[in-house]
Amino acid sequence: MSANKVKRAIGLSFIFIKEQIKEPTAFFWTILSPAALFYLLSYSRGDTPPYNTDYIAATSWFYAYISSSVAFFGFSFYIIGRRESGFTRSFIYKFEARIVFLLGQFFAYSLISILYCMAFYCLTRPAFGSLFIDEILIIIGRFYLCFLLFSIPGLLLTLPPITFQNANTFFSIASFSMLILGIYGVSSSSEVSSIIRRANPLSMANDIISQGLTNNKTLTLTIVILFLGALLSTLRLLRINPVWSRY
């Protein structure tokens, strides 16, 4: 891949980031709502700061859920949205343009996902004590792998001819189902729940956040390979109907 394509993709990613920031309600809601839910659940259990529990263990499910939300409702969702809005039909009718578009989308939401991760850390870590640079760097690495994990099914869902509204429904169902199955897997000790937990991407993400990358080397390599495969498949099979093809 040429340096020119990467440079153009980076430039496009900044445009996508500015577009995201122009929706401050959604932007701040995605940042504030997980932190607010964390504190509400803590207060409902009678816990008040400063908390004495391990920070990563106490927040791993929240980081897993945030990474899934950014991958589904940011990275993948807006690929479908831009296809439906006419962005791809007007500008992305060559393979080179498709590369730049997908890389720009990926770069943009990679940065946005890291910003969400850092924001949640800064909002919740003070309740446990001081903030640590080495700790947040560890969490960012684990969080980003979770983002790649959820981007795999997210990218594959961009390939069928579904509308923006239908995509919203599919992603909502997938997110809610993972959350319910995750709660069931934690609350039950049966063999069935253990199988469901191992197959649930949200539970995998929770394990990555809580246990780290060293204890999940095989899973880490598998996620990276599957993500690259999904990205290349999307690059090849992404539905593009140029405006001029209608005439």
Cα maximum dimension of the chain: 66
Q: What value does the mean pLDDT take over residues 90-117?
A: 85
- Over the range 175-186, which residues count as b (16 or more CB within 10 Å of their CB) and which as e? beebbebbeebe
Residue type, position 118, single letter? M
Distance separating alpha carbons of residues 231 and 247, to the nearest angstrom: 31
pLDDT over 60 at 241, yes or no: no
pLDDT for 246: 45
Q: Which tokens sit at 34?
A: 């997980």
pLDDT over 90 at 144, yes or no: yes
pLDDT over 50 at 243, yes or no: no
Residue type, position 177, single letter? S
pLDDT for 202: 85
Q: Which tokens sit at 180?
A: 């319910």
The residues, any chain, with a CB within 8 Å of residue 125's CB and separated by 6 or more, are 55, 131, 135, 136
pLDDT for 226: 94
Q: What is the mean pLDDT of the chain?
A: 81
Q: Which of 56, 57, 226, 234 is nearest to 150 (CA)?
A: 226
Q: What value does the mean pLDDT take over residues 212-232?
A: 87
pLDDT for 247: 42
Distance separating alpha carbons of residues 167 and 85, to the nearest angstrom: 14
pLDDT over 60 at 244, yes or no: no
148-204 residue pLDDT tens: 999 999 898 888 877 777 777 877 787 777 777 776 666 566 666 666 667 778 888
Percentage above 90 pLDDT, the chain:
25
Is 244:178 a contact under the CB 8 Å cutoff?
Answer: no
Task: Compare 144 and 164 and report the one with higher pLDDT.
Answer: 144
pLDDT band at 1 (very low <50, low <70, confident <90, very high): low
4-58 residue pLDDT tens: 778 888 888 888 888 777 766 666 777 788 888 888 888 887 777 788 888 998 8
From the CB of residue 195, how many other CB atoms can be counted at a distance below 10 Å?
11
Mean pLDDT lowest among 101-115, 127-141, 161-175: 161-175
Q: What value does the mean pLDDT take over residues 78-102?
A: 75
From the CB of residue 94, how many other CB atoms can be counted at a distance below 10 Å?
11
Q: What value does the mean pLDDT take over residues 207-218?
A: 81
Give the DSSP letter of residue 127: G
pLDDT for 149: 94
Phi-psi region of 238 (alpha: psi -120 to 50; beta: other; left: phi over 0): beta
Mean pLDDT lowest among 75-84, 141-150, 228-237: 75-84
pLDDT band at 101 (very low <50, low <70, confident <90, very high): confident
**Domain range annotation of the chain:** 3-246
The SS3 call for residue 139 is helix
Is 157:172 a contact under the CB 8 Å cutoff?
Answer: no
